[in-house]
């Protein structure tokens, strides 16, 4: 008998793993994202605690299913294309943090991430000059990996690096 995750994902391979909220609770709900543009299954599955089930408006789902604490709150299994995952990162945290809009770079992720890296480096330098300890220092190494991977055409590594950056961005 297939698990609920297998059924909801349409038995597709997992494309990305993210942590979209910083929450110590275990999940009580598995939120099923909208249907994929092509093929069966949900675009993503999010594990949420009661507080984030109602409080995570940026992740509206098609349906909620009960969960018995199999994952931590905020864990997202992402089945979208790499382009869609990168756009999601831009929408949720990268553009608000850096002001870099992928639309201004015609969706060329190498250019987007290069510009975002420059903005983060300048912000980290400002924080260091002010004597502040900032998670931006840790984010810079991961953003550099994402930037170089995108330049080399490896959007999978770029998306994975941005998932780690997303987790660090929650501390800003």
Give pLDDT, residue 5. Answer: 86
- Here the tokens at position 115 are 């510009």
Q: Is the pLDDT of residue 124 over 70?
A: yes
CB 73 within 8 A of CB 48: yes
Return the ∠ at Cα 82 (arms to 80 and 88), rounded to 5°: 70
Nearest to 164 by CA among 152, 98, 144, 48: 144
In angstroms, how far is CA 114 from the centroid of its own chain? 18
- Report pLDDT digits (tens) over 11-58: 888 899 999 888 999 999 999 888 877 777 889 999 999 888 876 666
Mean pLDDT of 52-73: 81
Mean pLDDT of 131-146: 89
At how many degrees (to 10) do helices 109-129 and 155-169 cross? 30
Give the alpha-carbon dihedral of 154, 158, 161, 167, to 10 degrees: -150
Give pLDDT, residue 34. Answer: 85
> Which residue has 């400002």 as its token pair?
126
């Amino acid at each position: 008998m297939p698990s609920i995750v297998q059924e909801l994902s349409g038995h597709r391979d997992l494309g990305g793993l993210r942590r979209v909220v910083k929450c110590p609770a275990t999940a009580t709900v598995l939120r099923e994202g909208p249907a994929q543009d092509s093929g069966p299954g949900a675009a993503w599955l999010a594990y949420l605690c009661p507080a984030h089930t109602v409080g995570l408006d940026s992740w509206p789902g098609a349906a909620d299913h009960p969960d018995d604490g199999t994952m931590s709150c905020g864990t997202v299994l992402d089945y979208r294309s790499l382009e869609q995952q990168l756009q999601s990162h831009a929408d949720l945290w990268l553009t608000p943090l850096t002001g870099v809009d992928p639309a201004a770079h015609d969706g060329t992720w190498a250019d987007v991430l290069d510009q975002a890296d420059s903005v983060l480096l300048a912000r980290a330098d400002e924080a260091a000059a002010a004597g502040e300890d900032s998670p931006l220092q840790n984010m810079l190494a991961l953003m550099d990996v994402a930037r170089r991977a995108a330049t080399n055409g490896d959007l999978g590594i770029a998306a994975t690096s941005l998932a780690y950056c997303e987790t660090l961005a929650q501390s800003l």
